[in-house]
Amino acid sequence: MHTQTLQPASPGSLNDAAWLTSLVMPTPFINGLSIPGFAATARLLHPASDANGVPATWAQVANQTGRPLHPDSTWDEVSGTVHARRTVHSDWPGGEPDLGELGENGWDALLDHLTDWAGSDASCVAAIDAELPWVSGTVGFYGDPQHVEPPQGPAFPTEVLSTAPRVQLLRTCMLMTGPLTAVRSLGRTWHYRDQCWFERHGPTGLWPADRSWLVLTDIDADHTVLAGPLELIDAVTADNRLETRP
């Protein structure tokens, strides 16, 4: 099992998380989400992929489909995706954005900015959806119906899963804490036959002790929301490693 450097937060952290629960819970996770108490917000669009599996931006998708990309555009609008009862039609021949995952490159870029703002040793709280398969462990291996290897283990030891405090934040999340650099090691090791590799993941929520910024995503969302000071938002939206919208 990969060693996680995030550790269970103290039970007192539930009181610290109450401010966020009151801000987020009444508001659905939708396009154009604004979070009270922060000067600015931005949507970080999760990358799609072309027919060859190469990452593609929403702007590239819009250019190929001939559809406009507005600040509040949804993936279905940009890709020309229509959901019928039994079928799905899309004008985009490639893959959809990963739901709930900004991706390794996206998180690296975002964490670079958060580190510049807060410092690599800044203490942060990470809210992690406790019911995600990569967190709790799952049977089999995705994408291979013939796979009969033993179930994949959880990302965290049993004692961590059982002792980390829980909070209702978009989903039932366990609260973990550690330095900001610890988020780069979040994920779990996959085992498949005679191979194993580490797969990174992002938290559902992330914020520093001083609550100066906030990162949120959801398992059903094709974008990640960043809220914080205008200077931080401006720096992130200017980074060409990330595709952002207000």
Q: Are residue 155 and residue 72 in the same domain, yes or no?
A: no
Q: Which of 38, 69, 96 is the last residue of a domain?
A: 96
Q: Are residue 77 and residue 171 in the same domain, yes or no?
A: no
Q: Are residue 89 and residue 200 in the same domain, yes or no?
A: no
**Angle in degrees, 0-180, between the axes of helices 104-118 and 230-237, rounded to the nearest 10:** 140
Q: Are residue 158 and residue 191 in the same domain, yes or no?
A: yes
pLDDT value of residue 34: 67
Give the bridge partners for 189, in sequence order. 198
Does residue 2 lie within any of the structural domains? no
Domain with 68, as residue range(s), is 48-96
Tens place of pLDDT per residue across the chain (246 aa): 456 789 999 887 777 777 777 666 545 454 445 677 899 999 999 999 999 999 999 999 999 999 999 988 999 999 999 988 788 889 999 999 999 999 999 999 999 999 999 988 889 999 999 988 888 876 544 455 555 555 677 888 888 888 999 988 878 899 999 999 999 999 988 777 778 888 899 999 999 988 999 999 888 889 999 999 999 999 999 999 999 998
Q: Are residue 149 and residue 84 in the same domain, yes or no?
A: no
Q: Are residue 66 and residue 123 in the same domain, yes or no?
A: no
Q: What is the pTM of this model?
A: 0.88
- Domain count across the chain: 2
Residue 154 and residue 135 in contact, taking contact as beta carbons nearer than 8 Å:
yes
